[in-house]
Amino acid sequence: MQNLPYFDEQPGDVNARRELGHLQTVPRIITPYSVGLVALFSICCNNVPLVQHPIEPATRRSNDQDSCGTPALPLPTPRCSPAEAATPVSSAQCSGSIVKTTGEAQSRALLRALTDRELVDPDLVLRRIGPSDRVTLHDINPQRLMETVEEMSLGILIDSIMPDFPVFISPTRSRAELLDAADLEEHCKISKPAGYSTDRPIIAVVDSGPNRCIPGLEELLWWNDRELIGTDGEDDDSPRNGYVDDFNGGNILNHSGSFSRKSSPHATDIAKMMVAELALYEAGKKPHLMFCQYFDGASGCVSGLVECLWYVVDRKEKGDRIAVVNISAYSQQRYAPLEEALQKLNSLGVLVVAAAGEGFGSLDVQKLYPNRFGLKNVVTVGSSSSAGKNHSSNFGRRTVETFADATYSSYSAARASAWAALQAPYDWRMSRNLLISAGYSHPGLEAASISGRRIAGPRTMRTAGACRGATTRRLVSPVPSGGQVVSYVHGSVQLEAVSIECSSPGPAPKLSVYDQNGKISRHPPSMRDRGPTCIGCWDRNAGDGVFSAQWTPPRLGSYVLRVEWPSGECEKAMVAVCPKN
pLDDT in tens, 147-166: 888 887 777 888 888 888 89
pLDDT at 534: 83
On whether the CB atoms of residues 220 and 275 are closer than 8 A, the answer is yes
pLDDT in tens, 383-432: 999 999 999 999 999 999 999 999 999 999 999 999 999 887 778 999 99
Percent of the chain at pLDDT > 70 equals 76
Q: What's the mean pLDDT in 156-183?
A: 76
Mean of per-residue pLDDT scores for the chain: 80
pLDDT at 293: 96
- The Cα–Cα gap between 189 and 187 comes to 7
* Angle CA 378–382–383, to nearest 5: 145
pLDDT at 559: 84
pLDDT at 227: 94
Other beta carbons within 10 Å of 472: 22
pTM of the model as a whole: 0.85
pLDDT in tens, 226-254: 999 999 999 898 888 889 999 999 998 88
Strand order in the sheet with 300-301: 300-301, 166-169, 329-330
CA–CA distance from 376 to each of 42, 121, 537, 542 (Å)? 21, 38, 16, 11
- The Cα–Cα gap between 541 and 123 comes to 39
Query: Computed from CA positions of residues 527, 43, 385, 460, in that sequence, does the dihedral angle turn out positive or negative?
Result: negative
DSSP-based three-state secondary structure for 43: strand
Percent of the chain at pLDDT > 90 equals 46
pLDDT in tens, 130-139: 677 877 776 7
Highest mean pLDDT out of 16-20, 189-193, 373-377:
373-377
Please classify residue 279 by burial: count the beta carbons closer than 10 Å to its beta carbon, then call 0-12 exposed, 13-18 middle and 19+ buried.
exposed
Residue 73's pLDDT band (cuts 50, 70, 90): low
Asked if the domains at 97-164 and 200-465 fall in one CATH topology, the answer is no
Decide which of 474 and 36 is more confident.
Answer: 474
Decide which of 66 and 493 is more confident.
Answer: 493
Closest-CA residue to 161 (of 148, 171, 175):
148
Decide which of 579 and 353 is more confident.
Answer: 353
CATH fold for domain 200-465 = Rossmann fold (3.40.50)
Q: Which residues contact 71 (CB under 8 A, 6 or more apart)?
A: 514, 518, 560, 562, 572
pLDDT in tens, 107-133: 888 888 888 887 776 654 444 556 778
pLDDT at 128: 53
pLDDT at 140: 79
Residue 575's pLDDT band (cuts 50, 70, 90): confident
pLDDT in tens, 310-353: 999 999 999 999 999 999 999 999 998 899 999 999 999 999 99
Residue 41's pLDDT band (cuts 50, 70, 90): very low
Domain ranges of the chain: 32-80+477-579, 97-164, 200-465
Residue 146's pLDDT band (cuts 50, 70, 90): confident
pLDDT at 81: 58
Looking at the predicted structure, is the pLDDT value of residue 71 above 50?
yes
373: left (phi over 0), alpha (psi -120 to 50) or beta: alpha
pLDDT at 182: 56
Q: Which residues does residue 161 pair with via DSSP β-bridges, in sequence order? A: 99
User: Strand 378-385 and strand 351-355: pairing?
Assistant: parallel
CA–CA distance from 435 to each of 4, 201, 228 (Å)? 47, 17, 35
pLDDT at 183: 62
On whether the CB atoms of residues 499 and 565 are closer than 8 A, the answer is yes
Q: What's the mean pLDDT in 203-215?
A: 94
Output the CATH code of domain 97-164. 3.30.70
pLDDT at 217: 94
pLDDT in tens, 445-469: 999 999 999 987 666 666 666 677 8
Closest-CA residue to 558 (of 4, 39, 70):
39
User: What secondary structure letter does DSSP report for 220?
Assistant: G
Query: Computed from CA positions of residues 256, 258, 262, 264, in that sequence, does the dihedral angle turn out positive or negative?
Result: positive
Residue 43's pLDDT band (cuts 50, 70, 90): very low
pLDDT at 60: 37
